[in-house]
A and B are shown apart, each in its own frame.
Chain A
């Protein structure tokens, strides 16, 4: 029977042999842990940020709505035409022009969509011959009744607009449902004067 006795020098040799390997293994484990740690919670962090953004956006929408409501309240207190009617009438005019500028060529379709009588629709379509492109700008200004308008009151508007590089003036009338009942288009002759 033989007995192996480790001498201090053999322990040192063993330590020198396995020490770096152990250290390296520890380092690899540490790196792995660091990588795991860096990757962990990413989704949670994103969800938290998304929740914060969403909450702030909700606050922004609420603030903008409060501004719009306050503006509407002041506007409607002094203007004879409610802001809602103005917006609907303006939208109708812009939509009519957008349809025409995109090459709407059916008077009956225009009549169905907008309530424009077929004669006016035919004239409008003819007026747009040679004027194509997208509707670039549209600003409608309504005639102002002396008193607050009645529910069924018609309103007239003049709207300066730009289609492509061409400019024109659309004059139109709307009924109580913001349907266009009459409209004419006049095109501009050459470049405008600007101040």
Chain B
């Protein structure tokens, strides 16, 4: 190829002098190389070159157009230089365009030809030629005519653009043969293919594995990587005993025990949540809490615990609403977003914010499932990978029905929440029938108030309030015949009006029946000196029957957020409802005054209402919950955004995956949102997709061995690292999809079976000790198990386990450490160490960019950006937190107290017990005497404090 390129260079002909040769010729347009000399991507042009002729009245390419290119463009966009990836010496180069992703020329359509925009200086920042005036009018006219007439280029009219990539990760996965180790006898040849691949490479370097790890180190390592918790003192003992009798059985049993543990899912969910930067707050200014977002966190934990096949796991997170697993779509809205209220009023800012939200969705999928940095193609074609700007926006078209917000997740009919919700609904309906007999009443559903009365027929209804100020985001009116229809909606032809003198700027009355919840509300303010009361009136398009009215102050808050000062508060108490009768007279149908009168008159009514509200609370708690797992919206048309700007829309695109990976989803251009998402989920999890399985097995490897076979676990593109063991990676990916090596019934895409295979390898079980003979050898070769520091969660959970305080309850709302805050205030840590926080740290409120005043210092992520790899860094803040925090002080005392309680007051025994509880081992003689001395002279809790701060405690051996 290089040869061909040089040969071509030597011809030194002007690119516009069409060589008269009659055979196909391949020209490789550009190539990039990385260190390992892997050819990344090439674009092949197939050119059938023939000669052409011109008439005087027509545009003649050679006479009229070629000189313009030659003079104005070819210096930067010619044969030898292709600024911005654009090449104008071939017709295909024009058709394809440059990095911007826009076709420079669309034959026959000057308005779509980006070339004309840039030479006319219509696109700010992309004026061509740069630092020069626009082209002269006559040249622009020639180019325009040439394009309109079909951009004839003699000899190149049949050239087609063909894109392909040679990058390894985009190639199909083929299961490589397991190598045969040359210098192995049959007996010492390892059973596990993983070891064969690893040893093959290691031995070629003249090295071998380290000896097996000590049982103490092995158990600690295995327990932490599988469950995030070290062995308890008892488990450490039991394992040591069993290992002594039969190491192999002891180990297998331990592996299977840990894989079956409820804590397995908690550990592996943590890794997944890191990658997708899932958190329970929005980020940005108000950084509000995302109500019930934890339902998604629990979905992930359960998925790992149930060993949900990975292809299904991905499918449900993208299109779970289609299979009764709506809680899984929390994945799509895992990233941060800026709520409308803080984006501002400018329409362009709102469009930008929407584009940013779509980008967060694509980043999530790119980083977690595909292992490509798809976001790089948002403004121009990807600089390194075969992802065009069209690919980016076609993928964004798939997710156009997703908006950051809440909905009631779709659950299977037999889901406990649905069953319970139905049960309670029936009870509520029964109570309502009893209440109906007495008269109008009011229900408080927290998010809204609903008052109910005997059905009335009217064309106009008016609600009048008892306070000078009213603010409501929405009023709904419903009838007995079809309670799902909100008769007040403007789109049904209903108009809302209010007294003009009570109007408030930017809080128009049209907000009250626009069907949209949230801060765009109707407000009324009666001047101080006026005797008026604020009212709102609805005029239906025809008389309608209705029996209930719903009012909410900010239902979006109710549905989407929590822990906010004054949330769900109404500015008024009393109101009355009137309808206009046929004579134009207003007559009252219900009022709060009547409610209280009826309360007084009917003793049993109070009891019924209190029972009703008890049931309402139960529904809210135990029935289906609104949850921040995304809400649906009708998909908008999707256009390529030139340079990523929503203000520069170019051609329309339709839902698709990445074209170089056959991204055709086989759906209609305007398929429904769920069809689009289901289709891309199938495309992603197709066994032919070369990325999905590779990325998944590599990530598992990374979490087990401390670094991936590809160290850049979320970037398998050409800017990422090359695999240290490419055959092993492919073998694992193939094995993952079509298992052959399992003792169990083969389960395709099983994460647990994959993990089992890896931890059963000798590689995993070898010692981590340093070896003088191999200093400086690449750790990736796995000549030892690579030791590392443990994460924030492991430190915290280990401490709680040692004291016996760890509450092992799985799932449910996160434990809180922060205050209830004002909308635009920062979260503040109120209490981060009390008994209610003694759960595993995955259940701690996961807040964006909030310092938990304890573990943020330990590289706990801030959840703003995708985090495929947690850094491990060292800061004195870690030391201060672990030495002086109330959490550690308190826990040190509790561990000491537990030890004393279990073994009595003898200091030597108590010290030994503390070592067992915290480190799973007995102290050495020197450690024992030094620690006992400290316990006697000062306090046993100081020994615990010291152990908690010692390196061994924070170390994965």
Q: State yes or no: do A and B come from one complex.
A: no
